[in-house]
Structure 1
């Protein structure tokens, strides 16, 4: 009876220690004029690096974050808070590594230039996420659940021109990040049809997006000085829907991002349907 009791006492004592460790390791660097980085770390006994990373994936996806990269062998997970009309994308990096006491899990949140935040808000939020990590058999079970987690939540309806400019500005910073961020994500877009055409077995609807020279409000110097086209691909079984469409017509469509082509400056959505 002594061994189980001793283990239980140690478990109770360890719970607040993780919170204390996170608080003690919490750091802030940079400033809102350039970039602000918040970071902290905890050490988990009885937990492999692989299971720790899988758990963190599940924990962060539950917070409605998107997984951009999950390098299990390298011990790095990159997720991002999805961009919206009210919030910029906020990347979070998790790094796991083996240490003498177990597995060290470090989390880093980067705020872009111009984003103001308070330590009093960020610290309890980050430490609360790290506190959800579990060790032992419970940790293994949580890791299995988190390993395949992904944020499949569809985005709200938005204007196709606003979507085009969002993609252009993201590509202007890092074109590779566009596919990592958006591939497979569902969007509902509203805009006018420029062109309808056959594209292999599919039907391609090209939205009407003005050239930069035709835009009523020109991009600022630090914004993308190029246009990104938006195409929506319909499957052959959507022929009846496509035949009812007309160039110049305003439509609302839902589709999943297939790919962004930085050479052509076009983003394609696939499996498009008329939004209900």
Structure 2
């Protein structure tokens, strides 16, 4: 073989080595990819466990479960609580140690409140159960999709999960009053449970100022005039009212307020005084 032939053979050998080196990472990655769980299989676990019992006439039950290795009971409950809050659901009861969580999809014009029971087991299994009332129709596919959407977001973890920060809800004072009245139709004692800790950016019209320096109280007009400040508003007997306890540094805002003035406050739900039909909001601050 001549010099040219040997050079050509060397180039082929070098080219083969180069291709082999390029192929090595792919070969090494294959076993790792085989060890990773298939995402459709994980989602399928929740879908396969979904079941429906009953019917619209007698009331139906929808349930499913999902297992996450390395997930403790407190972590599971904390994660599900935060996922529910992010979806706008109310947390009615929470027991991280015993592994139970009671959620509720708030009532609206289309349906009454829908409660969802969540339980967690030490082996990482988290279950969801929703019951519908007699005469209520549910879309099984839609319910399964929403349940699995929450469950498949769970991550392994041992430590309890801190409560997620609550995003303020933009709302009119009259709309909040209507919402609270609707929620309390069946059980007024549950109002505080449903609304506890909710934060609002609430708009309305001033009905009056009470209290003292460092602890002023602003009252919302629940039946405001179409021309605030010029045409007096009318109060309805037995109507639910809303009042806001201002923060100590909000003296100027409260003292400058006159009947009929518009108010825009950041506030946190405090409690409902059933004897006076009065909802109290706390930690109130004026929003510019």
TM-score, length of structure 2 as denominator length:
0.70
Question: How much does 1:40 deviate?
Answer: 0.6
2:37 alignment counterpart: 12
1:77-92 superposed matches below 5 A: 77-81=101-105, 90-92=114-116
Task: Give distance in 2, aligned partners of 1:60 and 1:172.
Answer: 24
Question: How much does 1:8 deviate?
Answer: 7.5
Unaligned runs of 5+ in 1: 216-224
Question: What's the Cα RMSD here?
Answer: 3.5
Task: Give distance in 2, aligned partners of 1:242 and 1:234.
Answer: 8
1:218 alignment counterpart: none
1:27 alignment counterpart: 51
Task: Give distance in 2, aligned partners of 1:78 and 1:199.
Answer: 40
Deviations 1:136-185 (A, max 9, x none): xxx12xx64x7113351111232x22321221222232233322222222
Residues 1:234 and 2:246 aligned together: yes
Question: How much does 1:94 deviate?
Answer: 1.0
2:80 is matched with which residue: 22, 38, 56?
Answer: 56
Maintained 8 Å contact 1:168/1:227: no
Maintained 8 Å contact 1:202/1:235: yes
Structure 1 residues 8, 76: CA separation in 2 closer, same or farther (over 3 Å shift)?
farther
Task: Give distance in 2, aligned partners of 1:82 and 1:199.
Answer: 36
1:197 is matched with which residue: 182, 199, 210?
Answer: 210
TM-score, length of structure 1 as denominator length:
0.73
Task: Give distance in 1, aligned partners of 2:71 and 2:262.
Answer: 54
CA radius of gyration, larger in: 2
Structure 1 residues 27, 227: CA separation in 2 closer, same or farther (over 3 Å shift)?
farther
Structure 1 residues 35, 174: CA separation in 2 closer, same or farther (over 3 Å shift)?
farther
Structure 1 residues 229, 30: CA separation in 2 closer, same or farther (over 3 Å shift)?
farther
Question: How much does 1:264 deviate?
Answer: 3.0
Unaligned runs of 5+ in 2: 1-29, 224-233
